[in-house]
Structure 1
Amino acid sequence: MSVIEPLLRQPAAQAIGWALLHFLWQGTLVAGIAAVLLSMLRRSAADVRYVVASIALAVMLTMPVVTAVQMFQSADRSTNAILPRDDARTTSASGVRAPQPRPQTIDVGRGVMSVRSSVVAPQPSIVRLSRLLPTFMLVWLSGVLLLTLRLLTGWWWIHRLRTHGVAPASARLQQVAARLARKLHISGAVTLLESALVEVPTVVGWLKPVVLLPASALAGLAPQQLEAILAHEFAHIRRHDYLVNLLQMFVETLLFYHPAVWWLSRRIRHEREHCCDDLAVALCGDPVAYAGALADLEDVASAFRRKHRMTRKDLMPRHHFVAATGGSLLHRIRRLLGAPDAHDTHGPAWFGGGVAVLLVCGAVLAAQARQTPATTATSAAAPAQPAVAATTVVAATTVTKPAVASTRAPIATTIASTAPAAASTAVQRPGDDPAAAMAAAAARIREAADALRARASTMASAPAATAEARAAMDAAAARVGEVSQSIHNTQHGSSGNWVWSHNGEKLAVKYNGEFEFTDDDADVRWISPGGSLQISDAALIGRHTVEIRDTGAELQRRYWVNGSERPYEPEGRQWLHDHLPRFVRNTGIGAERRVARILKSGGPPAVLAEIGRIEGDYVKGVYYTQLFKQATLDPQTFRQTISQAGRDIHSDYGLATLLISIVDRLPADDQSRGTYFEAARGIRSDYELHRVYTSLLKRGPVSASLLAKVLQNATSIGSDYELSQLLQQIVAQQPLDSQTRGPFFAALETIGSDYERHRVLKAAVARPDVDDATIAAALQAAATGSSDYERASFLLETLKGHGIGGGARVPFFTALGRVQSGYERGRVLQAVARQPNASHDALLSALQSAKGMTGGYELAQVLTAVADTHTLTGDLREAYLDAADRLQGYDQGRVMTALVKSERRK
């Protein structure tokens, strides 16, 4: 300690030490403000809370820096303004003139004091803190060193994860990853690896991100679940969360001694997972399926840990990467069912920016409160010098100068200017219980997210478009509020819980055993022996609870209000009669028996009327499914029911699941199939729409008129991959004719990916019975792409499979003329030239196309291939010589030699 103590008593070190001590109250103040604001924003979107928490952490890092700079500059100016140069060498840290010969420093631990008093005694608390300051600094440095070692160890482990126990992911997963990267506009390369060392999908790296997929998850999750989890990981990459996480660990390392830093950093990590959950839900289209994927992933990870006898802490340093299972899994799953829209009226993005500005202003005002006006210190500096020289004790002072304030202003301005940018970055994104599934609120949330993504490109540049988008989001949020509903069901054997909420109303049922309701659903008819049923509105004030228990001889009924038992008759019975039917109807509990009872009494119209009274999409889907399953519907009633389901169910996943479940019962006539496709038009999710279309098309070819209508509707699919898969399935199933060819290639034109366009064109001409008109149309479509490689590859495939005779020659060479690459055009022309049965017109078109090539070597290769394979006379010879005139030197010589050899073969 004696060696390092002189260093710790230097002015800069003491300024840092006092700044770290001041941060104890500063950090508490910032954390308190952040906690209040986050509590106010608890019903707003996760990205708004994420911005507020991140800016609060940035303010925490900024405050000790600003304080240290101010104290160091103030101490330096105080020394120059108050102490004579000769006396400064003998002033102790507390301001007491000491006889020791070693140099002493000015203590910066005091606050601002007026120097109009010439003799001021040091405060005892300041003296004690000054003596302990070197010890505190040494402890702080030790903690920083240990945590830095922790960081370095973590980085070494992360680097090891990227190189040990890994293998390239399958081609299918690579395609899924490429599609997700396109949807999220991730321009950089993302490496996808299978790893035996991770338990959950994990993202490591920032500039060159790597997604590690555990082998156990690949075997234990369905393809759709893997895609949903991958969407979460790619959301981390799109948001640059790995870099933000590194900056968090930097702040945690420097300010480790304050609990508020760890609390706020943990809150940021939780909100980060919520933001990525929202983005993943927007991509996969269904919160319930995604929540199920999270739950299954946790099961797979738990099995992995049990197999290897590990805990979470045994596997890897958790804070050094971002993964799909961060945060509280149970809280995340519950949140997915009832999460508000990312831009609802409870917490708009501008409010997050305003909160950030308030945090910054609070930090600046707190710093200013510790200083006196600069004019006071400046005016008192001159007369104070004699007093200092004559007195024995002088307390250290902090002189405020305008320069100190000017150094603070740019920092505050920088933080304030970054607040709107951070908020803007956070909101640029497109937008539980697996057994209970999705209510109407989730459908409205996805609708608002889709509307936001559609307007995202115009919001940045057009204020009018911004206002229009905000109005649309507010309207969507209002519709969410009208039908906000959630259902939660937990079951363990013959016991469990049902919780239903709707616009503030709530009803919870806890049961043990089996039970059956009366026909009017207003009471309980039967409970299995020893079973019980408890029904409560779960209100904080005025809670009503009814408990019904089987006692062997009869059903015992009891009634409570606010925990106080009251007679069941008549108040309890009336409360149960008023609330139970709505609960039974809107939770889907006992739906199979209810539908059977209603069918028996009133037939399908009665069931449809009952469905009309149900408030949630998921439960409507359950009742529709039971209706199709239990009733024998004539074609007309079947079509009416499908149409009503398409209007009633707003959840993409719910409507798609229903339509797929009834496809085998669909009447075979075109009118019923047309109604089926018309109902599917309400689905906005590309993935779900593709699933529905595929399920019906798998039953066999459809009529040309119906297929034309399907192709026209398919243009609404925005995903290149999903539309490409659908078009490939169509041409593989049935040939195109004059009625379907136009809509087919019109749908193809909406695909932006050259790779997906090539896949569709290849499938269109791959049929053995393909006609010339379809080939010509495919060649015309190939001319509109932008990739020379994909266009040239398709032309080679067409040439090999069908040749270029008849009406295919002109569109073939038209498409070839769009190929700018000399290499790609050359390999197509060489293939044409090497066909021994190539027609005169085809060779002439090839030589004319070769004339437009830019590369001398590639042109020479084409001409020599023509001369080596064919005998050139007449206009072919003239075209050959015209092309050869573009060559020089060696290339021209070998081309002319090949022509001479060709003429000798006459």
Structure 2
Amino acid sequence: MNDIIHAAGWALIHFLWQGALLGIVAAAVLRLMRGSRPGARYAVACAALLACLLWPAYEFAAALQPGPSRLQILTLAEAGGIYPHSDLLAGIDSRLPLLVAAWLACVGALALRSACGLAWIARQRRNGGRNAHWQQRLSQMAACLGIRREVTLRMVETLASPITAGWWRPVVLMPAALVARMPPELLEALLAHELAHVRRHDFLVNLLQNVAENLLFYHPAVWWLSRRIRHERELVADSIAADLTGAPRRLALALSELEKMQFASQRLALAADGGDLAQRIRRLVAPQQPHGNWKAVIATFSLAAACLSGYANAQQESSLPAPRTPAVVDFRTCSKPLWPKRDLKAGHTGTVTLSYHIAESGKVIGSKVVKSSGHRGLDQAARTGIEKCNFMPAKLRGKPIATWQQMQYVWTLE
């Protein structure tokens, strides 16, 4: 359990910079593709959000894999004094259980919110109002779009804007006020837009977005990418609806009427965001010819791939291990090393540096001389003395581990 907690904690911490990197790369690519088709930008934003999910998942899985080489790197780094932030990282490591607990609590609350949204949709599917005329028209339009599944239409009194939900059994929830107040040809254009979501299976992508938002709620890049996906998705659906009805201006007028009605802005967690209505209307009325600097896009992707490749190589060749707490000697168990009679008589002095192996039990099971005092007897006496000591073993992710540490014995005559 400690391994899982520490792996999850460090994966969450590392995603702070990983998410920022992915967000910057995605923003640069989308900026270069601002004149491209919405479908292309939509694919890029979805790929970036998927990377936000997969990268920390990979870090989590990799941290759970046994890696003896990592322990050796840490030991050498400590011995050589090239790991100056070990105290800071060890402090963070000790607080990871609290961090993971807080993260789980927030994820649970957000998941409950999403579950309530799904339950509300299911209830409206069962209890929502029915309209035989518009149900028949919706089925005809679905057939024109090549949708073979039955699409259900329900009228909801308290809804702010149309919602499409479900994949296997899709349902379109339509505000009852729209049916009563909007001209039939405009309402038909809005239904065509909702059917475009059904044909593209956008509900599944929306579920993936909710998973990413729930798990990585603390990172602004995730929310920005998710919002950008919803915006581009609406533009793609507008294009499909305009082609189906053959009247882009009719859909633009329907969106304008929807904006004028000034419904309440509150939406459920799983409701599709209509995006910027004004921008959607402008695009329908005066569409722009798609263009894009694909050479710059390829260059940006190449740069991002190079950065990720360098990161992977660094992880493989010189990645730092998870922080650990070093072994601590119990001085009550130690006895003063005996001065060899021959060296004492000869007046030998010096400093010996020992490297000793501490087992998981805290016992010293081996030692070696790293730097001799210049006298073999003093070196051997130091080794004998350290092997009599007991230690509180070093810990990695809360578990005792075997480790090598160093100590100096200074032999002086007074």
Q: TM-score, normalised by structure 2?
A: 0.71
Distance in 2 separating the partners of 1:278 and 1:328: 15
Instruction: Tell whether the 8 Å contact from 1:45 to 1:340 is kept in structure 2 after alignment.
Output: no
Partner of 1:21: 13
Q: Offset at 1:63?
A: 0.7
* Structure 1 consecutive aligned stretches of length 4 or more whose deviation exceeds 6 Å: 350-358, 391-397
Partner of 1:827: none
Q: Offset at 1:211?
A: 1.2
Q: Offset at 1:396?
A: 6.8
Q: Which residue of 316, 327, 337 maps to 2:275? A: 327
Distance in 2 separating the partners of 1:352 and 1:185: 34
The residue type equivalent to 2:188 in the other structure is: E
1:78 aligns with 2:68: yes
Q: Which residue of 340, 343, 364 maps to 2:288? A: 340
Partner of 2:376: none
Instruction: Tell whether the 8 Å contact from 1:199 to 1:216 is kept in structure 2 after alignment.
Output: no
Distance in 1 separating the partners of 2:141 and 2:226: 29
Q: Which residue of 80, 102, 105 maps to 1:142? A: 105
Distance in 1 separating the partners of 2:18 and 2:188: 44
> Which is richer in strand?
2
1:223 aligns with 2:184: yes
Q: Offset at 1:116?
A: 7.7
Instruction: Tell whether the 8 Å contact from 2:165 to 2:171 is kept in structure 1 after alignment.
Output: yes
Distance in 2 separating the partners of 1:130 and 1:11: 11
Q: Offset at 1:264?
A: 0.9
CA spacing shift, 1:388–1:18, aligned 2, 3 Å: farther
Q: Offset at 1:130?
A: 1.6
Provide the alpha-carbon RMSD of the alignment: 3.1
The within-5 A match list for 1:471-486 is: none
Deviation track 1:581-635 (CA, whole Å, cap 9, x = no partner) reads xxxxxxxxxxxxxxxxxxxxxxxxxxxxxxxxxxxxxxxxxxxxxxxxxxxxxxx
The within-5 A match list for 1:542-553 is: none
Partner of 1:167: 129
Q: Tell me how many residue pairs correspond in the alignment.
A: 329
Deviation track 1:657-678 (CA, whole Å, cap 9, x = no partner) reads xxxxxxxxxxxxxxxxxxxxxx
The residue type equivalent to 2:96 in the other structure is: L
Aligned with 1:194: secondary structure? strand
1:37 aligns with 2:29: yes
Partner of 2:96: 133
Structure 2 stretches lacking a partner, 5+ long: 320-354, 359-366, 368-385, 398-414
The within-5 A match list for 1:276-355 is: 276-300=237-261, 302=262, 305=263, 311-313=264-266, 316-317=267-268, 319-322=269-272, 326-341=274-289, 344-346=290-292
Q: Which residue of 96, 99, 116 maps to 1:153? A: 116
Aligned with 2:231: secondary structure? helix
Distance in 1 separating the partners of 2:44 and 2:302: 10
Instruction: Tell whether the 8 Å contact from 1:122 to 1:395 is kept in structure 2 after alignment.
Output: no
CA spacing shift, 1:186–1:353, aligned 2, 3 Å: farther
> RCO higher in 1 or 2 (8 Å CA, sep ≥ 6)?
2
**Structure with bigger gyration radius:** 1
Q: Which residue of 351, 355, 366 maps to 2:311? A: 366
CA spacing shift, 1:252–1:354, aligned 2, 3 Å: farther
Deviation track 1:708-756 (CA, whole Å, cap 9, x = no partner) reads xxxxxxxxxxxxxxxxxxxxxxxxxxxxxxxxxxxxxxxxxxxxxxxxx
Partner of 2:196: 235
The within-5 A match list for 1:586-735 is: none
Distance in 1 separating the partners of 2:60 and 2:357: 26
Distance in 2 separating the partners of 1:47 and 1:351: 18
The within-5 A match list for 1:781-820 is: none
Partner of 1:51: 43
Deviation track 1:213-245 (CA, whole Å, cap 9, x = no partner) reads 222111222222111111100000011111111
Q: Offset at 1:339?
A: 3.3
The residue type equivalent to 1:32 in the other structure is: I
Distance in 2 separating the partners of 1:353 and 1:275: 23
Instruction: Tell whether the 8 Å contact from 2:32 to 2:297 is kept in structure 1 after alignment.
Output: no
Q: Offset at 1:174?
A: 3.2
Q: Offset at 1:188?
A: 0.8
Structure 1 stretches lacking a partner, 5+ long: 1-6, 83-111, 306-310, 375-385, 398-906
Distance in 2 separating the partners of 1:25 and 1:395: 27
1:11 aligns with 2:3: yes
Deviation track 1:496-517 (CA, whole Å, cap 9, x = no partner) reads xxxxxxxxxxxxxxxxxxxxxx
Instruction: Tell whether the 8 Å contact from 2:19 to 2:219 is kept in structure 1 after alignment.
Output: yes
Partner of 1:254: 215
Distance in 1 separating the partners of 2:47 and 2:200: 16
Deviation track 1:781-830 (CA, whole Å, cap 9, x = no partner) reads xxxxxxxxxxxxxxxxxxxxxxxxxxxxxxxxxxxxxxxxxxxxxxxxxx
Instruction: Tell whether the 8 Å contact from 2:139 to 2:150 is kept in structure 1 after alignment.
Output: no
CA spacing shift, 1:373–1:139, aligned 2, 3 Å: closer
Distance in 2 separating the partners of 1:363 and 1:29: 10
Distance in 1 separating the partners of 2:34 and 2:156: 37
Partner of 1:434: none
CA spacing shift, 1:39–1:80, aligned 2, 3 Å: closer
The residue type equivalent to 2:287 in the other structure is: A
Distance in 2 separating the partners of 1:138 and 1:184: 47
Distance in 2 separating the partners of 1:224 and 1:355: 44
The within-5 A match list for 1:310-459 is: 311-313=264-266, 316-317=267-268, 319-322=269-272, 326-341=274-289, 344-346=290-292, 362-372=307-317, 387-389=356-358, 390=367
Partner of 1:212: 173
Instruction: Tell whether the 8 Å contact from 2:163 to 2:173 is kept in structure 1 after alignment.
Output: yes
Q: Which residue of 143, 152, 155 maps to 1:191? A: 152
Q: TM-score, normalised by structure 1?
A: 0.34
Q: Which residue of 211, 230, 245 maps to 1:269? A: 230
Deviation track 1:478-521 (CA, whole Å, cap 9, x = no partner) reads xxxxxxxxxxxxxxxxxxxxxxxxxxxxxxxxxxxxxxxxxxxx
The residue type equivalent to 1:346 in the other structure is: G
CA spacing shift, 1:51–1:352, aligned 2, 3 Å: farther
Instruction: Tell whether the 8 Å contact from 1:41 to 1:346 is kept in structure 2 after alignment.
Output: yes
Identity %: 37
Distance in 2 separating the partners of 1:137 and 1:14: 8
Deviation track 1:164-183 (CA, whole Å, cap 9, x = no partner) reads 3x232232x23432332122
Q: Offset at 1:280?
A: 1.1
Partner of 1:405: none
Deviation track 1:4-39 (CA, whole Å, cap 9, x = no partner) reads xxx5xx122101110110000000000000011111
Aligned with 1:372: secondary structure? helix
Q: Offset at 1:45?
A: 0.9
CA spacing shift, 1:130–1:204, aligned 2, 3 Å: same
The within-5 A match list for 1:511-522 is: none
Aligned with 2:95: secondary structure? helix
Distance in 2 separating the partners of 1:388 and 1:119: 16
Deviation track 1:516-545 (CA, whole Å, cap 9, x = no partner) reads xxxxxxxxxxxxxxxxxxxxxxxxxxxxxx
CA spacing shift, 1:258–1:333, aligned 2, 3 Å: same
Distance in 2 separating the partners of 1:157 and 1:116: 56
Q: Offset at 1:361?
A: 6.5
CA spacing shift, 1:347–1:51, aligned 2, 3 Å: farther
Partner of 1:413: none
